[in-house]
Amino acid sequence: MLKNTLFLLFTFVSSLAQEKTTGVLNLSNDFSTSLLLNNATSTATLTLSGPNDRWFSLQFGSFESGMQNGTDVVYWNNSILVDAVHNGVNFAPTPDPVNNWVLVSNQNNTPTNGIRTLVYTRAFDTGDSNDYVFDFNNNVIDFAWAKSSSPNFTMNYHGVLNRDVVLSTSLNLLGIDDAFITDVKLFPNPSDGIITIKTNANIQRVNVYSQTGAHLKTFSIDYTKEVTLNVTDLQSGIYFFEIENESGKNWKKVQLTF
């Protein structure tokens, strides 16, 4: 029995050691991203949260500057996450003949009003010469981002204030306490204001937002997988709960009825 327990524990810890993440990177006040690499499945998971009324893009790989010719980039066109390659500064990227990114989820007005959150996955190596090959042995990755300066989904000049380069972003191994929050149970929902949250990973904080995106309150959590919150001071209505730790975040829509 002890051998079986130790084997299961070793298997669990080993599985965590096969994942690396950038954690959540806040690129601007309304644009963030995170990258998760799973060595066991050779799969990359990319999460993007950006303004829902315009295009936004992320360049990734190993490079020296944004819009560097031949670098891998994805952008949201209000329909799909386009898999593309850069043609250099002042030129729009060219979509790849085959889009290797697979949709996991697309949530509008989440976690706040006006923000769209996308989750996509693809293989480390797609076999496409235009696609960056993710290497789990790398400890850093370069990012460059941009978004439209005005509401539209036509790739155009973004302006100097709507882009930046983030070089040598750390890719850190996930530990037991750092796993992504992927499985969230929140109950009861609808609720009378006393809400229990259970997750697969330790929680660091819970943020509560109104339907209009206003931040209402933050609960600091002592890294536990289950917590009960009291929000009876809020009014009846719909709210968004942002459940997060250092490795990522998840959102739940909650109806309060008093």
- In 3-state terms the chain splits into helix, strand, coil percentages (rounded to 5) of 5, 50, 40
The set of residues, in sequence order, having a beta carbon less than 8 Å from that of 228 and lying 6+ positions away, is 194, 195, 196, 197
**What's the DSSP call for residue 191?**
B
CATH of the domain at 99: 2.60.40.1210
Q: Is residue 148 classed as helix, strand or coil in its secondary structure? A: coil
Same domain, 98 and 80: yes
Q: Is residue 134 classed as helix, strand or coil in its secondary structure? A: coil
- Find the mean pLDDT for residues 239-249: 83
CA angle (119 as vertex; 114, 120 as ends), nearest 5: 135
Number of domains in the chain: 2
Distance separating alpha carbons of residues 143 and 61, to the nearest angstrom: 7
Distance separating alpha carbons of residues 4 and 14, to the nearest angstrom: 15
Each residue of 199-210: pLDDT tens digit? 888 898 998 988
Peptide bond into 97 cis (omega under 30): no
Residue 30's CB is within 10 A of a number of other CB atoms, namely 17
CATH of the domain at 188: 2.60.40.1930
Same domain, 195 and 168: no
In a domain, 8, yes or no: no
pLDDT value at 8 more than 50: no
Same domain, 165 and 189: no
Each residue of 52-65: pLDDT tens digit? 999 999 999 999 99
In a domain, 13, yes or no: no
Q: What domain range is 242 assigned to?
A: 184-256
In a domain, 7, yes or no: no
CB 141 within 8 Å of CB 169: yes
**pTM of this prediction exceeds 0.85:** no
Closest CA to 243 of 111, 51, 114: 111
Each residue of 136-169: pLDDT tens digit? 999 999 999 999 999 999 999 999 999 999 999 9
The set of residues, in sequence order, having a beta carbon less than 8 Å from that of 11 and lying 6+ positions away, is none
In a domain, 179, yes or no: no
